A and B are shown apart, each in its own frame.
Chain A
Amino acid sequence: MLRYLRLVGIQVRASLLLAMQYRVEFVVQGFAGLFWSAATFVPLFVVFGKRPSVAGWSFGQALLVLAFFLLLRSLLDGAVNPSLVQVVEHIRQGTLDFVLMKPADAQFLVSTAKFDPSALSGTFGAFGLFGWAFWKTHHAPSPGGVVIALLLLAAAVALLYSIWILVVSSAFYVVRVDNLSYLFTSIFDAARWPASVFRGILHFVFTFVIPLALMTTYPAEALLSRFTWSDAAASIGGALAFAAVARLTWRGALAKYTSASS
């Protein structure tokens, strides 16, 4: 365990060195991240400009969902996406060989290969949003609600990561997955809205198939004291099941790996 923590440390260090090597890009990316955070409000303003609530959510409450969305989006762009995009390239060029030759868990190595510190700037925006949302709703979260929300957030990160592993695993079979990753980021965009906005089939899909509801809506509801411990347990169980499926799929995909010719 300690060894893996040390490995993460070294990989983060390498990413920081890299980021600082290209200083201009680092600064530009940081600003782009902040700009993007600001831009996420626009649809919310448009929708709430005409009506006081949408699908039972007030503006302030919807801000909480958006804050979780922004937080996850930053984590996705900063900590998950850069490494896993690299895997696809590794598979295409056959350099995954070097990763598989290492005496450490391959999924761990590829998942922590690269971080993008500039993309993490969005997390500041997210914390600002939390403050604004509580001010708007005149509601301070209960300690229990905060604990549940944090647990759900951890489950959401696990879920997001698992979905990415599933996407990457498909690269072993189809080699090019650029479209799949675009598709996923586009679908993930829907997580900025409270889940009850979606009806019918979309509601089912976003709750059970690609559980966007668990990622942003449920943690927000926990902060609003509308989520119980048993609901939280079920969500965490769901996230763990997703993680197990992702792990099995990854292992199956590795066995399928054909490497690229010399």
Chain B
Amino acid sequence: MVHVRELSKVYRVHQRPPGLVPAFKSIFHRAYRNVPAVQSLSFDIGPGERVGFLGPNGAGKTTTLKMLAGLLHPTSGSALVNGFVPRERSVGLLKSITLVMGQKQQLLWDLPPAETFALNRAIYEVPPAQFQDTVRELSELLELGELVNQPTRQLSLGERMKCELAAALLHRPKVLFLDEPTIGLDVAMQLTVREFVRRYNERYGATVLLTSHYMEDVRALCPRVVVIDKGRLLFDGAIEELVKSVKPNKRIVLKLSRPVDGADAARFGEVMEHEPSRIELDVRPDQLQAAVAGALASLPIADLVVEDPPLEDALRELFRRSRTDGADSR
């Protein structure tokens, strides 16, 4: 559904040191610097897949999404989305994709979302019957109710995002590019949006490429992740694989019936978190059995759970390594 080969994008950025004199000089002579935002990126996404697209701020996620949506022209490399070349922005492509940006909105600010829906219906040439069906379905999935008839500016951030999603999906796109769709939303609303994306994906078999800084979104929605940093691919595969390859250790979470000294716990593994009633230990897989047995025998344990280290830790480690490697190779 989405094929990306050696995709690169270089921005030409205007450079200016701070201060009045350099500002004045820059009126007459501008210095530019080439900033590589995406470098030789390659990956494929199959129909109906839900893929998390991860990376720190400035990693090139949004630039990649915008190249795939046909908004930005790649400097080199190629992309194919649903059989179309995005940069050509053909009607076929635009009718089969959508882009939702958590930080920007397409809803008409002073009018009710229903007006934006009507406009999109005409632009996408959605037949009236299908439009009614889709609006009904989306309203039901997102619990929109009367929200669509209130002026957008009177809606809360979460309500607005729900209507944004509905407006973006009225034409039943086959490929969804979601750029931070849950940003700024409260936990309950994040859950609603997440659940909605999953159900839309299941009902229409749509392909989803999602960026989010909330790992919970990614964990709950995306069996597979593509991780980039500084525009380069760092990892592409299942979340469990990522965690296993970067942080192979197991995490033992101990709930304690009374506080213990950190040094006592450190005998069984590396202490990652230490609170009066809770300790988290990292242990090599081959030492897991001994560590669990030892901890059970000598610590006042109320509860014990063995799990993989959090995705956040694995990502942090991955980015740290990529930055040290980058520094070494320079």
Measured between alpha carbons, how far is A130 from B126 in the docked complex, in Å?
45
A93 to chain B: which residues have CB within 8 Å? Answer: 104
B105 touches A97 (CB 8 A): no
Contact assessment for B115 and A97 in the assembled complex, using a CB-CB cutoff below 8 Å: no
The answer to whether A262 and B62 have CB atoms under 8 Å apart is: yes
Asked whether any CB of chain A lies closer than 8 Å to the CB of B103, the reply is: yes
A262 CB contact (under 8 Å) in B11, B101, B124 = B101
Give Cα distance in the complex from A237 to B73, angstroms. 34
**Does A18 lie within 8 Å of B11, measured CB to CB?**
no
Encode B116-134 as 1/0 by CB contact (under 8 A) with A. 0011101111000000000
Q: What is the CA–CA distance of A257 and B73 in the complex, to the nearest angstrom?
A: 9
CB distance from A179 to the nearest CB of B (A): 14
Closest CB-CB distance, A19 to chain B, in whole Å?
A: 10
Cβ of B62 and Cβ of A103 under 8 Å apart? no
Residues of A within 8 A of B124 (CB): 102-103
Across-interface contacts of B70 in A (CB, < 8 A): 100-101
* Shortest Cβ gap from A176 to chain B (Å): 13
Identify which of residues 79-126 in chain A touch chain B, using a CB-to-CB cut-off of 8 Å.
93-95, 97-98, 100-104, 109
Contact with B along A9-52 (1 / 0, CB 8 A): 01100100110011000000000000000000000000000000
CB of B91 within 8 A of chain A?
yes
- B122 and A21 within 8 A (CB): no
Give CA–CA (A261, B124) in the complex, Å: 26
Check A255/B73 contact, CB under 8 A, given A3-B125, A17-B115. Answer: yes
Report how many residues on chain B are interfacial, defined by Cβ distance under 8 Å.
Answer: 34
Contact bitstring A223-262, B, C-beta under 8 A = 1, else 0: 0000000000000000000000000000000010111011
Contact B115 A14 (CB under 8 A): yes
**B172 to chain A: closest CB distance in Å?**
13
- CA distance in complex: A102, B124 (Å): 7
Contact B180 A100 (CB under 8 A): no
Judge whether A7 is part of the interface by a CB distance below 8 angstroms.
yes
A6 at the interface (CB under 8 A from B): yes
The 8 Å CB contact of A259, one of B72, B103, B122, is B72
Flag if B104 contacts A95 (CB, 8 Å): yes
Does B99 reach chain A (CB closer than 8 Å)? yes
Q: Which residues of A contact B69 (CB under 8 A)?
A: 97, 101
Partner of A101, one of B62, B94, B115, B119: B94
Nearest chain A residue, comparing its CB with the CB of B177: A101
B112's closest neighbor in chain A, by CB?
Answer: A17
Quick check: is B325 within 8 A (CB to CB) of the other chain? Answer: no
Say if the beta carbon of B284 comes within 8 Å of chain A.
no
Question: Contacts A10-B118, A97-B66 given: A103-B91 contact, CB under 8 Å?
Answer: yes
Binary contact track B264-293/A, C-beta < 8 Å → 1, others 0: 000000000000000000000000000000
Cα-based distance from A104 to B122 in the complex (angstroms) = 10
| Contact present for A104 and B111 (CB under 8 Å) | no
Residues of chain A with a CB closer than 8 A to B157's CB: none
User: A136 to chain B: closest CB distance in Å?
Assistant: 44
- Docked Cα-Cα span, A97 to B89, in Å, equals 12
* A109 and B71 alpha carbons, distance in the complex (Å): 16
Chain A contacts of B118 at CB under 8 A?
A: 10
Cross-chain contact of B111 among A7, A21, A98, A262 (Cβ < 8 A) = A21
Chain B stretch 37-90: residues in CB contact (< 8 A) with chain A: 62, 66, 69-73, 89
Could you mark each residue 8-24 of chain B with 1 if its beta carbon is under 8 Å from any beta carbon of chain A, else 0? 00010000000000000
In contact, A100 and B110 (Cβ under 8 angstroms): no
> Is B257 among interface residues, defined by CB-CB distance under 8 A?
no
B149 within 8 Å of A (CB atoms): no
Contact of B123 with A97 in the complex, beta carbons under 8 Å: no
Q: Can you pick out 22 interface pairs between chain A and chain B where the beta carbons lie within 8 Å of each other? A: A10-B119, A14-B111, A14-B115, A14-B119, A17-B115, A94-B104, A95-B104, A95-B105, A97-B71, A98-B106, A101-B69, A101-B98, A102-B94, A102-B123, A102-B124, A103-B95, A255-B73, A257-B72, A258-B11, A258-B72, A262-B62, A262-B101
Residues of B within 8 A of A (CB): 11, 62, 66, 69-73, 89, 91, 94-95, 97-99, 101, 103-106, 108, 110-111, 115, 118-120, 122-125, 151, 179-180
Q: When A and B form their complex, which 8 residue pairs have the shortest distance between CB atoms, in order from nearest? A: A103-B94, A98-B106, A262-B62, A103-B91, A103-B95, A102-B123, A10-B122, A104-B123
20 extra A-B contacts, CB within 8 A, seeds A21-B111, A97-B66, A103-B124: A3-B122, A3-B125, A6-B122, A7-B122, A10-B119, A14-B115, A18-B110, A21-B151, A93-B104, A95-B105, A97-B69, A97-B101, A98-B99, A98-B106, A101-B99, A102-B94, A103-B94, A261-B62, A262-B101, A262-B179
